[in-house]
Amino acid sequence: MTAESSIENTLYQALGLPENSSEKKQKSQVKVPYAEKDGRLVHISTVARGLKCNAVCPVCKIAVVARKGEKIRHHFAHYPGANCSTETVLHYIAKQFLYEKLISAIALKQLVQIKWKCIACSHRHSLNLLEDVCQAALEKNLDNCRPDISLLDKNNKPRALIEIVVSHRPDDKVLKYCNQQQIPLLIFRIANAEALEALGLYHGIDPTVVLYCPREHCVHCDAPLFEKRLFIIDHSCWRCGAPMRLAVMQINHKLYGITHFSAEDQQIARDKGVVFREHFSKKSKQPEIAGAYRGKICLNCRTHRDIEQ
């Protein structure tokens, strides 16, 4: 499996979507808690029951019924046979909520800080989503893709893209475009009515997944590169006091032992005077190499002991 396909599968898992695109899509069972009244979106809790709600579907503009019974979650519904899918309505409403939030934040020059755990390198990143952003555009054509929302700078160049996902998979062309342009892609999954309500009521921007890793990437496989440092430490044997040298690997400010040493790393350490010796571990019942953090071995008295943290 390539790095790209692995990230793609992780993305679908994070969104709660099937990895296999050939799997049959199920009809959305989400109850829509919003409709349009007097030109704006209203919540089911603010209107009268039945046709007295005087509301219409925001997509097809046909009158809807406010179902406010005692057993089923309150929601708006089309009449049977109406040619308007629930998924389309949910997607439209979520897009409008986000668009209105963004244009308001841009107008007020607000700081919109987003944080996410990267599915490429597993570390946490953050950024100001609206840095250098001057406008938001709905369904703007970009080369061969058309994202739900584009955030553009003063030169009309995309700085970030947004996709809304209900049950369909994210547009592969949008994913590819963001990867080529090295810009963030924010994906919002609307899996239930609560997610839609949170999007409408909560003032912040909290994407389900952010596809963007600010780290430098490998030119061959496009995997994120990590900062790695090899330290050689002068030490002494706890029993006989004889001098000895240890090697420790630091990757992104964390320390690791021999398990994170490549063959090249081991050779560099040997050239610097670190001696590696294989020993039998009582804990793992397997042969291990000592001489690197956390294991060490004294060549004078042959004592082996873990370094204390």
For every residue of 278-305, DSSP letters joined together read EEE-TTTSSEEEESBTTEEE-TTT--EE
DSSP 8-state code for residue 115: E
Could you tell me if 134 and 171 lie in one domain?
Answer: yes
108-134 per-position pLDDT tens digit: 999 999 999 988 777 888 999 999 999
* pTM attached to this predicted model: 0.70
- Look at residue 12 in the predicted model and tell me its pLDDT: 80
Could you tell me if 49 and 139 lie in one domain?
Answer: no
Whole-angstrom Cα distance, residue 200 to residue 202?
6
Could you tell me if 120 and 209 lie in one domain?
Answer: yes
- Look at residue 5 in the predicted model and tell me its pLDDT: 59
Residue that finishes a domain, picked among 80, 98, 120: 80
Could you tell me if 107 and 93 lie in one domain?
Answer: yes
Residue that finishes a domain, picked among 196, 219, 242: 219
Could you tell me if 60 and 150 lie in one domain?
Answer: no
Residue that finishes a domain, picked among 201, 219, 237: 219
Range of the domain at 38: 30-80
Could you tell me if 253 and 135 lie in one domain?
Answer: no
Tell me whether residue 21 is in a domain. Answer: no
Could you tell me if 164 and 95 lie in one domain?
Answer: yes
Could you tell me if 137 and 213 lie in one domain?
Answer: yes
Q: Which residue has the higher pLDDT, 7 or 205?
A: 205
- Look at residue 309 in the predicted model and tell me its pLDDT: 33
Could you tell me if 97 and 209 lie in one domain?
Answer: yes
Tell me whether residue 5 is in a domain. Answer: no
End-to-end CA distance of the chain: 37
207-239 per-position pLDDT tens digit: 999 998 886 655 555 555 566 788 888 877 767
From residue 147, give the alpha-carbon distance in Å to each of 68, 77, 150. Answer: 35, 28, 7
Neighbours of 50 (CB within 10 A): 10
Could you tell me if 99 and 207 lie in one domain?
Answer: yes
- Look at residue 290 in the predicted model and tell me its pLDDT: 47
- Look at residue 23 in the predicted model and tell me its pLDDT: 45
pLDDT at 183 over 90: yes
